[in-house]
Every structure is written in C-alpha cells, then in structure tokens.
Structure 1
Amino acid sequence: MNPYLDIALRSLAVYAFMLIAIRLTGKKELSQLNTIDVVLILLISNAVQNAMVGNNTSLLGGLAAAAVLFILNYILKKITFKNKKLRDFIFQHPEILIHDGKLNFDKLSHLGITDEELKEAMREHGVEHYKDVKLAIFEVDGNISIITGTKDLKQTHFKRKKVHKSLGLNM
C-alpha cells in the first residue's frame, strides 16, 4: 500500500475515534478546559501520533497526516451543515436550567452546575431571585444566559469557571 494512503487512512480512523470519544464522554464545554483536560489532550495527541503516521517520522509524513486532518475537518463541517442528524450527534445544544422561575434540578445536577454558580450568573445579569428568571440557559460555550423578560434586561456574559472539587479552588 502507498505509505501516504496508509497515513491518510490511519488519520481518518484516529479522527473519527477522537470525535466519537469526546462526544460520548459528555464533554460539554471544550472552551472551559481545566488542567486535567489539557493534560489529557496532550497525552492523547502523543498517544495517537504513531497510530496516524506509523514508522514514517519524516516531515512529509507529518504534513500528510496534518493535511488529512484539516481536510477531514473541513468536510465534516460541510456535511454537518447539511445533515441535521449528524449535527445533532456531534454538536451540543443549549440546556434550559430555569423556566418561568422553576429550576430544572435534574439538568443542573447532570451538568454539574452548583447553586452558587447559578446565583453568580443571576447576579451578573442583575437578577436576585429565581422567581424573576424567565429563562436561564446553559449555552454550548459554557456561558449561562439569563432572560428576565423585564425592560431593564442587561446584556452581560457569565463564563462558568471550573471549580476543583477537592480543594474548592477556581481554575
């Protein structure tokens, strides 16, 4: 087999595996990476490097693998734009945390959003009580949007911080 075709096929397999693995592990907010996530990504990239290029450690082999990854990424973006089922599988969706003042405890628990984080987001939006929130939405980028329905609605952004559970430190 052509060595560059071999690199292309290996890169395709690794790309598909990583895409599915990240989606199935439920990672909600890649923009909010903590130290553990960064270490994992670095180690995975090192672990799969040989799986993509095999024994070919030449510059051309590395460029071929990188080119395949860029092409796959471009094609996948085009396909997901046209295919709703695939788009729904790959991309996250906003989650409603509060609707008409009622908290969705199951969703909050599932997403690991604490009461303190939700109250902080509300304060950022100038809201004091849950009952005043028409909608609180956990956005795919990690932001929590608050809609009150009042005329003095403030446009602010609350970026969720990762909290290290054992130390209680913000990361």
Structure 2
Amino acid sequence: MGQDVFFGGWAGLGRTLLVGPLAYVALVFMLRASGKRTLSKMNAFDLIVTVALGSTLATVLLNRSVPLAEGVMALGLLISLQFVITWLSVRSERFQGLVKAEPTLIMREGAFLDGAMRRQRITREEIEAAMRESGLGDVDDVACAVLETDGSVSIIGKSSDGS
C-alpha cells in the first residue's frame, strides 16, 4: 500500500486550501443571487439540485483535473437550470405538474386513509407524530392531514365548536 493513500503531497493540500474557499464563496454568491426559492423547503427536484451542487463542489475541491473556473461554471449551470425550472413552473401549471407533486389527503375526520397512505408510503406513526407536533393527541380532533409536496405532514384540527 502506497503512502499516497494517507498523504498525496503538499500540492494537493495547497490546492484544496486555495480552491475550497474560492469555490465555496462562488457557490454562496450564486445561491444568494438566485433568490430565496433556491434555498426554500425542498421538493424532490430541489433535493436533486442540492445533491448535485454538493457533489459538484466536492469534485472541484478534490479532483485535481477539474479547474476552478470549470467547477464554478458547473455550479452556476445547476443553479441557472434550477432557476429556469422554477420560473417555468410558476408560469405554467402543465410544467409545474411535471416537476412538482400534488399534496395528498391522508386522513379525514379522524379516519386514516389507508389506500392513500400506502401509495405515499407513510405510516400511522408518522401522522401521529405530526399530530403531536400540532398539539393534537387524539385522532378525533383531526379534521384532516395532508402529505405536502415537500414530504411534511400538515395537520388541520377541528374547530373548538365541534365542526
């Protein structure tokens, strides 16, 4: 086993120390310039872009064959594509349907909707945890529960007058 498994040389460390902060600052600048939507609660598409950004940043930091300029361009391209996709989805319901899921009703009037829960792969325990977070301990106090597009569960309680 060669020594480069543990230490590849001072040049690699120096490159990482130089390129790392520059790539990081470029990424932060581009994220700030792209607007709050880029950093909002994530749907599946946003998660993919976030993972791709992290992977690209890691590649720029650790792969000596990727120059900083190319890495920054790749980061900018991913952020630009995400901006275009969200811009189009705000302006076209048809396009939005391609990239964003619809919320799903998973509980109504205290009754779990087992078919919807199975399709969405969510358990009663997860809904009950969301109920507790909403301050509700009894299913009879729930008007409905909705699995949102970002994977969170929204609980709507019945009003205090019983309706």
**Paired residue for 2:55?**
45
**Paired residue for 1:124?**
133
1:36-71 CA deviation, whole Å, 9 max, x = no partner?
x9xxx58x937xx7xxxxxx7322222222222222
- CA distance 1:127–1:68, shift in 2 (3 Å): closer
Matched, 1:111 2:120: yes
Q: 2:74 aligns with which of 56, 62, 65?
A: 65
Q: Which runs of 5+ in 2 are unaligned?
A: 1-42, 60-64
1:78-122 CA deviation, whole Å, 9 max, x = no partner?
111111111112112221111122321011122222222222222
- CA distance 1:76–1:29, shift in 2 (3 Å): closer
Matched, 1:149 2:153: no
What's the TM-score, normalizing by structure 1? 0.51
Cα contact 1:138–1:144 (8 A) shared by 2 = yes
C-alpha displacement at 1:141, in angstroms? 2.9
C-alpha separation between the residues in 2 aligned to 1:74 and 1:123?
36
Identical aligned residues as a percent: 26
Q: Which has the larger radius of gyration?
A: 2
Amino acid at match of 1:142: G
C-alpha separation between the residues in 1 aligned to 2:44 and 2:75?
25
Between 68-77 and 78-87, report the one with greater CA deviation: 68-77
C-alpha separation between the residues in 2 aligned to 1:111 and 1:130?
20
Cα contact 1:94–1:139 (8 A) shared by 2 = yes
User: RMSD in angstroms over aligned alpha carbons?
Assistant: 3.6
User: Number of residues paired by the alignment?
Assistant: 112
Q: Which runs of 5+ in 1 are unaligned?
A: 1-27, 50-55, 153-171
- How do 1:1-171 residues align onto structure 2 when only pairs under 5 Å count? 41=51, 45=55, 57-151=66-160
Runs of 4+, deviation exceeding 6 Å: 28-31
- CA distance 1:68–1:91, shift in 2 (3 Å): same
C-alpha displacement at 1:145, in angstroms? 1.6
Specify which structure has the higher proportion of helix: 2
